[in-house]
Amino acid sequence: MASSEQGTPLEPLRAPPRASNLLVLGGGGEPASNEIALEKNVRYFQRTLEAHGLAPASATVYFANGNDGQATVRYLGEKASEQFKAPEIPHVKGPATLERFLEWVEQSARETPHQPAFIYFTGHGGLNSRHRNNNHLALWEGDTLTVRAFGLFLNRLPSTTPVVTVMSQCYAGSFANFIYQDANPKRPVVAQPRCGFFATVDFLPSVGCTPEVDEADYKDYSSSFFAGLSGLGRTGKAVVSADYDKDGRVSYAEAHAFAKVDGETTDLPISTSEAWLQRRATRGDRRRFLSSPIVEVLRGGRPDQRHVVDSLVARLGFLPELSVRDNLKTATLRSAEAVAYVERLYMELINIGMREKLRASGSPQSLAVLERLLQCENGSWDRPAGSAPVPVRVDASEVDATVP
């Protein structure tokens, strides 16, 4: 494992990055997989920008077939009949193809090379059953973008420019490997500061791609993430603040924590630092965190981690004085979601325990990697000077979908 930490010493970030170069890639690879939920995810993202005082047009958006007017968005009409309509997303720049992604990278390298980047993908992912470290995104017209290619293309940006990504597709956790050279966890971490937040681990599908039009019923990782980040749910209602450390802003890591608790799904959300830590956990480490009293492991947790653990413990009806293993002896898990809550709890305890273990006995190289990942994940969106979060009015058509 130490091999992934060798190489050029990493420079710490001066401050958590505040992203100002925003990209959205969305939609299915073809009409049959281009569900209306994906379109609505992009529109919700744009409302989230407004809630931050940012103009929706400030983000570059590529979605499915773009703005050519073809009916490619699949939805269920009356009597659950399958129908198609043209995308209705303001400020779309074009189709979500590999060519357009490369254009954005090249343009960013020329025009905004030092602006921290934020990339949101809402679509479908594919599993590489032979090499789960290198799964792929499904783009329009049959294009694919692997983890390795994603990382290589981002190398065209300056090595000092932070890149943050949020991905909600199936098998998304594989993209946590974009922090490594050639997406290979056995190789060193790249010089460029990178981090990301993913709906689920690299071997599981995610939820949320639906042709149903009622947005109020949507349950998926990115819905919860952006609700936590903005304080605004999909239907325009305020949500409980995710500012767990009370510093006056919500970081990406705090939005991720919000999603772990808010998302009533079978997803297992994971971030780059969490994947990095879990990869270093030995069998002995895992047994220890599973068998130790929850409150004992929790002592080393950050405020956002404590929120996740406390919330999941309460939801499961566990006793924090007992270990996860002992709690499970008397627990009744009546749904797949409840099983997922247990797994999320266990993952969070591993994250906390491994962070404390490394801080106590880790190498300087390991600590440098971890601290920079955590700094990156503690970033947030940039906000124009003098602006403040604003309430966003949501028309019924935004939630219940106006369709022909």
* Cα distance between residue 394 and residue 122, in whole Å: 21
In 3D space, the residue among 36, 98, 26 whose CA is nearest the CA of residue 66 turns out to be 26
In 3D space, the residue among 71, 123, 70, 66 whose CA is nearest the CA of residue 90 turns out to be 66
| Chain CA centroid to CA 123, Å | 13
Secondary structure of residue 403 in the 3-state scheme:
coil
User: In this structure, what DSSP letter does residue 234 have?
Assistant: T
Are 196 and 17 in contact, with CB atoms under 8 Å apart?
A: no
Residue 296 in tokens: 């004992």
Orientation angle between helical segments 252-262 and 221-230, nearest 10 degrees: 130
Secondary structure of residue 126 in the 3-state scheme:
strand
Spell 113-127 as b/e; 16+ CB within 10 A means b. Answer: eebbbbbbbbbbbbb
Secondary structure of residue 88 in the 3-state scheme:
coil
Amino acid (1-letter code) at residue 320: P
pLDDT tens series, the chain, 404 aa: 444 565 556 777 878 888 889 999 999 999 999 999 999 999 999 999 999 899 999 999 999 999 999 999 999 988 788 999 999 999 999 999 999 999 999 999 999 999 999 999 999 999 998 999 999 999 999 999 999 999 999 999 999 999 999 999 999 999 999 999 999 999 999 999 999 999 999 999 998 888 887 777 788 999 999 999 999 998 889 999 999 999 999 999 999 999 999 978 999 999 999 999 999 999 999 999 999 999 999 999 999 999 999 999 999 999 999 999 999 999 999 999 999 999 999 999 999 999 999 999 878 999 999 999 999 999 998 665 544 444 444 444 444 443 44
Strand-pair category, 117-126 with 136-138: antiparallel
Residue 156 in tokens: 């065209």
